[in-house]
Structure 1
Amino acid sequence: MPDNAPAPGDADPLGVHGVVPPTVTAFHEDESLDVETTAEHARFVVEGGADAVFPLGTNGEFPLLTGEERDRVVTAVVEEVGGDVPVIAGVGAPSTRETIARAQHAQRVGADGVVVVTPYYYPLDHEAAVGHYQDVCAAVDLPVYVYHIPSKTGNKLKLETLSELATIENLAGVKDSSKDVPWLGQAIDANPELTFLAGSDSLLFPGLEVGCTGLVSAVANAFPELVADLYEAYDAGDEARARELQSTVYDVRRAFKQGPYMAGVKTALSLRGFDAGPLRSPLRTMDDETRTALEDDLDALGVL
């Protein structure tokens, strides 16, 4: 458990804290699923200092996978690192029925918890959001973490909706990627029994400051040691060092963003000698010129 960093909420039986990378899904060159390398990436981040892993988040390209592929990813990651660190598997989908199917599979194969993104595409009102999470939580005996990312789903949870979700028996926490610090601060203040996970690399240190217990970091997919050092410095009470490392994370994040959306992580991994293959179409990898620019930037930062 943390020393100086915020403690997980009492509603969270896993006590999720520290660095929780949203691990990548690897593909072969023809974009078919590479489950072996996907599992190896989970091992890579654990060996780099991750405290838990979150397969099938945004960095895991989950909307581009079939249900069967998603099940294979969860199975492979659980088999690789389950028992070493908690595996909280992304199971969210636009429909409640599909979300429950993925969640029940995750439970069957031994995942420790499930992360449920708010349903996307269709607008979601208070009653629909509450009903969705009630049904998912009733269908499994695992802790359930809300994944709040309104920029991608189009659905932002009201604070009063979150407080009602917090009353559901096995709803354990929230991974917030809204980048809305006032919303996050108020959510933590109103629901101290939940575990909150900072879901943006722009808000790792600030997230800890407002009460997040864990850091779901895309940068940690390629440089887990960097984010683990930031968390450990904060937990040791060395906030000056944690701020300094957050500054480095900002620089790495900016370097990643010079290419196509999400291409930075897999390109940086390849520069470290870990080949997770291409992104699945319509996402694109970096061209040679941008890859070279990224390598130059990361080399100048001293993280390669």
Structure 2
Amino acid sequence: MPEHAPPPGSEDPLDLQGVIPPTLTAFDNEGAVDYEQTAAQAEFVVDRGAHAVFPLGTNGEFPLVSGDEREQVIKTVVAAVGDEVPVITGVGAPGTQETVEHAERAARAGADGLVVVTPYYFPLDHEGAVEHYRQVAAAVERPIYVYHIPPRTGNTLAPETLQEIAAIDGIAGLKDTSEDVPWLGRAMADSPDLTYLAGSNALLYAGLEIGCSGLVSSVANAFPELVVDLYEAFDDGDEDRAQQLQRQVLDVLAAFDRGPYMAAVKTALSVRDVDVDPGPLRSPLRRLNDEETAALKADLAELGLL
């Protein structure tokens, strides 16, 4: 159990805590999933201290990956690191039926837990949200972590809606990427038995301060050591060091934000001296071009990360 970092919630059978990178789905130059490199990237973060992995989240480009590909990604990651750390996997989709199908396939593929993003595209009301999670939880015997990311889904869960979802048997936690700290604080007060995972790179330290037991950080996909050091500094009671490392994460994030959405994470990993090549992003997303890559590499070198 952690020393100073917040503990996981009592409703969480996986006791999720620490650094949980939202691992990458690797693709080859023709756009096919590269399962070998997908496994290699998961091994890369675990070898550098990650406490769990989360394939098929936003950084795993899950909306662009088919059901068959998702199932094989899960099998691949579980085979690579499942004996070392928990594997929680994204199973989200715009509709409940498809989400249930993904959840059932993920359970068969060996995932330890399921991360269920709020349905997206269509507006979602209280009754629809609660019923969605109720049906998914009833379909599988795996702990479920609600994934709340309103900037991407267009749906914000009202506090009373989350409270009702939290009471469903099988709901174990919440990954919050709303960047709304008062909302998250209210959720923690209303449902203290859940595990809470901070999903914003800008709020890793703040998340620990207010009670998140885990950090889901895209920066940790390329620089897991940095985020693991931040978590361990906080857990050691060295808050000054943890705050210093949070500032460095912000510097990395600023470098990442110079290119198109999510492109810099894969590019940063590819310019490190490591044996992992995540390849391009799947269209319509794209990797950085040569000029953008050179600028990112210069930024990361200046930060002492290469």
**Structure 1 length as normaliser, TM-score?**
0.99
| CA–CA separation in structure 1 for the residues paired with 2:237 and 2:190 | 26
1:196-237 CA-to-partner distances (Å, cap 9, x unmatched) read 000010010001011111000000000000000000000010
| CA–CA separation in structure 1 for the residues paired with 2:48 and 2:219 | 12
| CA–CA separation in structure 1 for the residues paired with 2:71 and 2:94 | 17
* 2:90 equivalent in structure 1: 90
2:284 pairs with one of 275, 282, 285? 282
Kindly indicate whether the alpha-carbon contact (under 8 Å) linking 2:19 and 2:227 is maintained by their aligned counterparts in 1.
Answer: yes
* 2:56 equivalent in structure 1: 56
| CA–CA separation in structure 2 for the residues paired with 1:156 and 1:46 | 32
1:189 pairs with 2:189: yes
| CA–CA separation in structure 1 for the residues paired with 2:76 and 2:187 | 34
| CA–CA separation in structure 2 for the residues paired with 1:236 and 1:189 | 25
| CA–CA separation in structure 2 for the residues paired with 1:33 and 1:295 | 26
* 1:300 equivalent in structure 2: 302
* 1:2 equivalent in structure 2: 2
| CA–CA separation in structure 1 for the residues paired with 2:260 and 2:67 | 26
Deviation at 1:36, TM superposition (A): 1.1
1:137-195 CA-to-partner distances (Å, cap 9, x unmatched) read 00011000000001110110000001001111110000000001110111112111000
* 1:234 equivalent in structure 2: 234
What's the secondary structure of 2:141's corresponding residue?
A: coil
Q: How does 1:66-81 map to 2 (within 5 A)?
A: 66-81=66-81
Which consecutive segments of 4 or more residues in structure 1 shift more than 6 A?
none
| CA–CA separation in structure 2 for the residues paired with 1:188 and 1:36 | 39
Task: Give the count of matched residue pairs.
Answer: 304
Amino acid corresponding to residue 18 of structure 1 in structure 2: G
1:158 pairs with 2:172: no
1:117 pairs with 2:117: yes
| CA–CA separation in structure 1 for the residues paired with 2:189 and 2:215 | 18
Deviation at 1:284, TM superposition (A): 1.1
What's the secondary structure of 1:146's corresponding residue?
A: strand
| CA–CA separation in structure 2 for the residues paired with 1:302 and 1:161 | 44
Deviation at 1:277, TM superposition (A): 0.4
| CA–CA separation in structure 1 for the residues paired with 2:154 and 2:84 | 35
| CA–CA separation in structure 1 for the residues paired with 2:83 and 2:103 | 19
| CA–CA separation in structure 1 for the residues paired with 2:33 and 2:290 | 24
Amino acid corresponding to residue 3 of structure 1 in structure 2: E
Could you tell me which runs of 5 or more consecutive residues in structure 2 were left unpaired when the two chains were aligned: none
What's the secondary structure of 1:103's corresponding residue?
A: helix
Identity of aligned residues (%): 63
| CA–CA separation in structure 1 for the residues paired with 2:81 and 2:97 | 28
| CA–CA separation in structure 2 for the residues paired with 1:131 and 1:206 | 31
Structure 1, 171-180 or 182-191: larger mean CA deviation: 182-191
| CA–CA separation in structure 2 for the residues paired with 1:95 and 1:199 | 23
Kindly indicate whether the alpha-carbon contact (under 8 Å) linking 2:23 and 2:55 is maintained by their aligned counterparts in 1.
Answer: yes
What's the secondary structure of 2:59's corresponding residue?
A: helix
Amino acid corresponding to residue 236 of structure 2 in structure 1: A
| CA–CA separation in structure 1 for the residues paired with 2:66 and 2:123 | 23
Cα root mean square deviation, aligned: 0.7
Deviation at 1:241, TM superposition (A): 0.3
| CA–CA separation in structure 2 for the residues paired with 1:277 and 1:109 | 24
* 1:145 equivalent in structure 2: 145
Amino acid corresponding to residue 118 of structure 1 in structure 2: T
Kindly indicate whether the alpha-carbon contact (under 8 Å) linking 2:71 and 2:109 is maintained by their aligned counterparts in 1.
Answer: no
* 1:265 equivalent in structure 2: 265
Could you tell me which runs of 5 or more consecutive residues in structure 1 were left unpaired when the two chains were aligned: none
* 1:40 equivalent in structure 2: 40
Amino acid corresponding to residue 42 of structure 1 in structure 2: A
* 2:246 equivalent in structure 1: 246
Kindly indicate whether the alpha-carbon contact (under 8 Å) linking 2:45 and 2:221 is maintained by their aligned counterparts in 1.
Answer: yes
What's the secondary structure of 2:52's corresponding residue?
A: coil
Deviation at 1:101, TM superposition (A): 1.0
1:18-60 CA-to-partner distances (Å, cap 9, x unmatched) read 0000000000001111111101111110001100000000000
Amino acid corresponding to residue 277 of structure 2 in structure 1: D
**Structure 2 length as normaliser, TM-score?**
0.98
